[in-house]
Structure 1
Amino acid sequence: MPKTSLNHYMERHATPPETLVNLLAKADITINGDAPWDVQVHDETVYRDVLTRGSLGLGQAYIEGRWECARLDEFFHRVMRANLDEALGGWGKLQLLGDVLRHVLFNLQTPQRAYQVAQQHYDIGNDVFEAMLDSSMSYSCGYWAHAESLEQAQQHKLDMICRKLDLQPGERVLEIGCGWGGLVRHMAMHYGVEVLGITVSKEQQKLARERCAGLPVRIELMDYRRLDGQFDKIVSVGMFEHVGPKNYGIYFDTAHHLLKDNGLFLLHTIGNHKTALQTDAWIDRYIFPNGKLPSASEITTAIEKKFLIEDWHNFGQDYDRTLMAWWEKFNRAWPELQFQYDESFYRMWKYYLMCCAGYFRSRQGQLWQLVLSKRESTRMYRSMRPL
């Protein structure tokens, strides 16, 4: 239906378009229904925006309060489990084509653009992240196999990484994307290693330096492409999602060059269930600009002739539980945070956490930890799982 005809239709009809009703029915979702995952539409312009702008229109309408859902996480779980997000992405074909061409034709993660995600997301205010995260301020998936709280899940994750890397006292370690310093602090305090952590976020660098004062830790504001030196171990947690396919080669070339021949490299990253040509338009606009989730085949192609895979561990369903724990803490802290942030921010942040929880619950989203070594290595590596 042409856009002008669609607008005219919306002006004359109070009921939702049959196309949208039938699509949502495949996921057992009813518009203005009684189930907690049903959507409650307060403004009929939602239909127009979804049909013309796909996921971007859906998310913007939620931020503006034009629709509601009691269990937003379950709404997204059902949408993605039934692969309806692909149909949503297909609407607004010119926009979809533009998103695909943007990722295919341009390098969205050049050194000059590397700091954009920090400016839009990581530097919004440490108070939000301090309220939402655990005491280590780990902004990545926790490991819940034997954890009963977010605090335990993140501590278990940090220690699992150290043990997978077989850290030894006196070793020199690099963390690419160190966040607020939780892992570098843990490694230095409990394993006696010297650590260099890099980040593109000024706010992260400032707080990480404060938290690591007195430890053999350096925190530098820099892009990974500027690194030099030699390290016994390298780790990267939740940063690879910002690298982009056009830079996978230089990313792994850089890690290969920096790692000693008998060293180990642990890569912790979200992974998509299949290779996609673009990222979700709403996430790209509001949360992580220029990001791109890798598929398994993209990673294996990029590391070929550079690294051997010693271990590949998937615990993606733990991210659902992590995200819901973050939401609970954020929501509980909102009475204090609301003096610094408006209602639109609250709805944006809720939408972000809930759609991500649904993404992992549907198993479209994975969480991978890969342990990589050079072919030149003479060490015997034994895969391990803690606890």
Structure 2
Amino acid sequence: MSYLKLFNELLSPADIQINGTREWDIRLHDEAALDRILVDGSLGLGETYMEGLWDCDRIDELVHRITQHNLEDKLSVKAKLLLGAHLGRKKVVNFFNRQSVERCNKDVPFHYDLGNDLFENMLDERMTYTCAYWKESFDLDSAQTAKLDLICRKLGLKPGMKVLDIGCGWGSFMNYAAEHYGVVCHGLTLSKEQTALGMEIARRKNLPVSFILQDYRQYVPAVTYDRVVSIGMIEHVGPENYKDYFTCANRFLKDDGLFLLHTIGSPESKTETDPWINKYIFPNGVIPSISQLGNAMEHMFNIEDLHNIGPDYDKTLMAWCRNFEKNWDNIAEKYGDRFYRMWRYYLLSCAGAFRSRSLSVWQLALTKEGTSLPQFARAV
């Protein structure tokens, strides 16, 4: 049975055509892809692209249109009617903590230990793997520097302060804050690859920056910190652990301190992520909602400021993809064609999701409940 007519009808409201001539239209190489997409939804869409069953010049715009018009839900309804609910994927209830210490020690390296060479050929000069701030910037390097400085100013950093970075990556924030604001930084990470390169970068500049290869739940600091920051890490924590995460941040922070949380945000409370992203990119990652964060920080933190820079992630992801494509020849032999299609699909489909505003990026400035407000700049 051919589903070509069905798919063209479903895609019509988003002005997408199969074998059309626009950049966002799908060029179908094998109709077997349609059967897979009908049954497996977004997982089938991503996998059939990886397998070369279809192509599209502007995956970012394709996904933007699909997401903006909520086509996946409509497709799911059609699939159940046409194929019967028994053909859909059976939902498995997981009674275990999918972001336990043990699982995180496996899931985090799955992505971040792929190879520093991959990220060096994709990211900015500081190796910043989170949303940039494009308000007054026109290139990736300056936009990432602007984001790091924005966070430093919001934190009101002063020379000599001790700062903890939960999920520090390659240390881009720590290195910037230490170099330009004179603070001492400690960073928590579970990635050996990030730690090795991050320490090398910090040593080159002789900065007071140290990396701690440890889960935040197991970290017992010798001191409390003037400031705590976490940039793009809570997406790996999971709703079952949000309370523990904020409890730890509260314990790490001085009573008059400030905690800045930078996270991708969802308008809907969920307990799991997109199936394709979960399988190939970020195992067991979950994007939090405001209500999930608010419930988890009750009786611990006040929200002093909330800043949404979500549209900037579209620009950031597109810049990463341009770098990845431009520098692909440097790493092609190591990673191979299938990886190229997978990684390109990851970057462009995520850009489309942010363009449709189904995802945001929030920066929350938090103080401990019951304490006076420290020096804080709403530097937007």
Aligned-pair Cα RMSD in Å: 1.6
Aligned to 1:347: 341
Which residue number corresponds to residue 135 of structure 1? 125
Task: Identify which of 294, 303, 324 aligns with 2:297.
Answer: 303
Of the structure 1 ranges 307-316 and 374-383, higher mean CA displacement relative to structure 2 is found in 374-383
Q: Which residue of 2 aligns with 1:288?
A: 282
Q: CA deviation at 1:299?
A: 0.9
1:34 aligns with: 21
Q: 2: distance between equivalents of 1:383 and 1:310?
A: 10
Residue pair 2:121, 2:327 contacting (<8 A) in 1 also = yes
Q: Structure 1 residues 26 and 369 mapped into 2: Cα distance closer, same or farther (>3 Å)?
A: same
Q: 1:153 aligns with which of 143, 151, 166?
A: 143
1:192 CA drift (Å): 1.1
| Gap regions ≥5 residues in structure 2 | none
- Post-superposition shift, 1:87? 3.6
Match of 1:98 in 2: 91
How far residue 43 of structure 1 moved from its aligned partner, in angstroms, is 0.7
Of 359, 368, 376, which aligns to 2:370? 376
Deviation at 1:154, TM superposition (A): 0.2
1:206 paired residue among 160, 178, 196: 196
- The Cα shift of 1:18 comes to 3.6
- SS of the aligned residue for 1:119 comes to helix
User: Using the alignment, how far apart are the partners of 1:89 and 1:106 within structure 2?
Assistant: 27
Structure 1 residues 179 and 278: CA distance shift in structure 2, 3 A: same
Q: Which amino acid aligns with 1:378?
A: S
1:61-107 deviations in whole A, cap 9, x for unaligned?
A: 000100001111100000011111334566586765526x33xx331
The amino acid across from 2:66 in the alignment is V
Residue 223 (structure 1) aligns with = 215
Alpha-carbon deviations, 1:32-58, whole Å to 9, x = none? 111111111101110110111111111
Give the structure 2 partner of residue 269 of structure 1.
263
Provide, for residues 191-231 of structure 1, a one-character-per-residue CA deviation record: whole Å limited to 9, x for no partner. Answer: 11111101110100000111111221110111010122311
Match for 1:59 among 23, 46, 50?
Answer: 46
TM-score by length of 2: 0.94
SS in 2 for 1:339: helix
Contact 2:124 2:144 in 1 (8 A): yes
1:148 counterpart SS class: coil
Aligned length, in residue pairs: 370
Residues in 2 aligned to 1:257 and 1:38: alpha-carbon distance in whole angstroms: 51
Given residue 10 of structure 2, which amino acid in structure 1 is its aligned partner?
Answer: L
Structure 1 residues not aligned, in runs of 5+: 1-8
Give distance in 2, aligned partners of 1:25 and 1:154.
38
Q: Does the CA-based 8 Å contact 1:310-1:383 persist in structure 2? A: no
| Paired residues for 1:306-321 under 5 Å | 306-321=300-315
Aligned residues of 1:202 and 1:221 also touching (Cα < 8 A): yes
Distance, in Å, in 1 between the alignment partners of 2:371 and 2:54 is 56
Instruction: State how 1:38-187 maps to structure 2 within 5 Å.
Output: 38-88=25-75, 97-98=90-91, 101-102=93-94, 105-187=95-177
Q: 1:275 aligns to what SS in structure 2? A: coil
User: Is the Cα contact below 8 Å between 1:262 and 1:376 reproduced in 2?
Assistant: no
Distance 1:132 1:88 in 2: 34
1:300 and 1:134 mapped to 2: Cα distance? 32
Q: In the aligned structure 2, how far is the partner of 1:276 from the partner of 1:82?
A: 20
Partner of residue 257, structure 1: 251
Give the SS at the match of 1:113. Answer: helix
* C-alpha distance 158-145 of structure 1, shift in aligned 2 (>3 A): same
CA contact (8 A) 1:310 1:381 kept: no
Q: Letter of the aligned partner of 1:220 in structure 2?
A: I
Preserved contact between residue 308 and residue 373 of structure 1 (Cα < 8 Å): yes
Whether the 8 Å contact between 1:116 and 1:289 is mirrored in structure 2 is: no
Asked if the contact 1:273/1:363 (under 8 Å) is kept, the reply is no
Aligned counterparts of 1:206 and 1:375: Cα–Cα separation in 2: 37
For 1:232 and 1:119, the matched residues in 2 are separated by 29
Using the alignment, how far apart are the partners of 1:79 and 1:255 within structure 2?
A: 38
What are the superposed Cα offsets for residues 93-150 of structure 1, whole Å, 9 maximum, x if unpaired? 6765526x33xx3311000011223322111110110010001100000000000110
**1:252–1:302 contact (8 Å) kept in structure 2:** yes
- 8 Å contact 1:40–1:68 — kept in the other structure? yes
- Note the C-alpha offset of 1:21: 2.2
Aligned to 1:4: none
The answer to whether the 8 A contact 2:153-2:377 is kept is no
TM-score (norm 1): 0.92
CA contact (8 A) 1:36 1:69 kept: yes
Name the residue aligned to 1:324: 318
